[in-house]
Structure 1
Amino acid sequence: MISEQSWADAELIWDFHQMHHEPRPCSVAVGLGSHDLGVADATVDLYRRGMTPLIVFTGATSRTTQERMPRGEAVHYRERALELGVPPADVLVESKATNTGENILFTRTLLEEKGVKVESILLVSKPYEERRAYATARKLWPEVEVVSASAPMTFRHYVDSIGDPRLVIDMLVGALQRLQLYPQQGFMVAHRVPEEVLAAYRRLCADGFTGRLVHAAAP
């Protein structure tokens, strides 16, 4: 049973993780691979709205996705986009990245190899990964404008869509830990975390939502 305090703390962190950017036209949309096909759907929605002429899906597999997406996260995302009517020529795949830093660096390399001029990117992630992805891109691709995007939904709606509240809260807590650790390790730019968000984070850790905490340096 998850307490009302834990729900409230998780919602506070959920809101902090989102950048609240207004989507606008960009050179390319970059969909970050994960267990959540909603990222692919959100990327396609932006494409259909004329926000980008080109999509790159990036991601290999992880322990979370190896059974659900055995061909690789980016490959499954592309298949989803084609099912939704995106022309094959408008969807590129980067299938080797295993973390957010590699997502950015390998996508950058792919677009350079394809001769695509990039001045701005729509960086599409899970809702609670927006700030982490943005901070990573600003560090590793500083010369481009970065606009964060995700599927528009409330925390409760997202939990219902995943079906596992504890997993989602673990993910929120883990993402916030990385926002505090990784700038010191050179993986992302620093973002100030408000004290009330840190207090919520500490309470959730004390309540056992620690399944996605890291104990080693990795982007």
Structure 2
Amino acid sequence: MISTQDWADTRRLWEYHQMGHTLQPCSVAVGLGSHDLGVADTAVDLYERGMTPLLVFSGATSPTTRERMPRGEAVHYRERALELGVPSSAVLVEPRARNTGENILFSRKLLEEAGVDVSSVLLISKPYEERRAYATARKLWPEVEIISASSPMTLNEYVDSIGDVRLVIDMLVGALQRLLIYPEQGFMVRQQVPNDVIDAYERLCERGFTSRLMRDSQGQDQALSQTRR
């Protein structure tokens, strides 16, 4: 049962995860692989709007995408883009990355090897991954301007597209935890997290929305122990 408080806390995390960047033309758009073909659709839309001359899709497979995207996330994204009318010359594929850091590093290397001059990147992710993707790119690709983008959806629309409200809440909670703990591990730059966002996160953890959390050796949520010190 999702309570009124649960939903309010979820909405607060959803709002925080989105960067609210103003879209502008960039050297390249990088679509981060996942289960969500909406990332490819958004990349195509930005290409058609003249926001970028080149698309890079990055991603191998994961336990959640292996069955749906057996040829790899980036390959399926490319196929989707070609179906929607993007010429093959405007799409590059990076098929090895298995996490956000590798998405950034491997895409950067691919573009360097292709001789593409990059000063700005439209970084396209799932809506609740905008801030995590941005913080990772700022750490691993600091010399370029990063503009975060995702499918323009409300929380309600995203829940309807997934069809499982509890899973969506779990994913939002897991993404917030990583923003709290990954900077100390060197994976991303630190983001300021308002107290009301941390409060919402802790309440949702206490309510059991924890399937996407990373645990320490004692089985505890690392971020909870850090925020409560």
TM-score interval w.r.t. the shorter chain? over 0.9
The total of aligned residue pairs comes to 216
> Aligned to 1:53, what secondary structure does the other structure show?
coil
TM-score normalized by the length of structure 1: 0.97
> Aligned to 1:109, what secondary structure does the other structure show?
helix
Letter in 1 for 2:68: R
In the other structure, the counterpart of 1:214 is 214
| Map 1:137-156 → 2, pairs under 5 A | 137-156=137-156
For the residues of structure 1 that align with 2:156 and 2:66, how far apart are their CA atoms? 26
Matched, 1:130 2:130: yes
Gaps of 5+ in 2: 217-229
Q: Following TM superposition, where does structure 1 have runs of at least 4 consecutive aligned residues deviating by more than 3 angstroms?
A: none
| Map 1:29-178 → 2, pairs under 5 A | 29-178=29-178
| CA-to-aligned-CA distance 1:58-90 (integer Å, 9 cap, x gap) | 001111111111111111111110110000110
> Aligned to 1:123, what secondary structure does the other structure show?
strand
Deviation at 1:7, TM superposition (A): 1.1
In the other structure, the counterpart of 2:190 is 190
For the residues of structure 2 that align with 1:131 and 1:10, how far apart are their CA atoms? 16
| CA-to-aligned-CA distance 1:85-109 (integer Å, 9 cap, x gap) | 0001101100100000000000000
Letter in 1 for 2:198: L
Deviation at 1:164, TM superposition (A): 1.1
For the residues of structure 2 that align with 1:67 and 1:211, how far apart are their CA atoms? 21
Q: Work out which of the two has the higher radius of gyration on C-alpha atoms and give 1 or 2.
A: 2
Gaps of 5+ in 1: none
In the other structure, the counterpart of 1:203 is 203
Identity of aligned residues (%): 74
For the residues of structure 2 that align with 1:215 and 1:207, how far apart are their CA atoms? 17
In the other structure, the counterpart of 2:25 is 25
| Aligned residues: CA RMSD | 0.7
For the residues of structure 2 that align with 1:214 and 1:63, how far apart are their CA atoms? 16
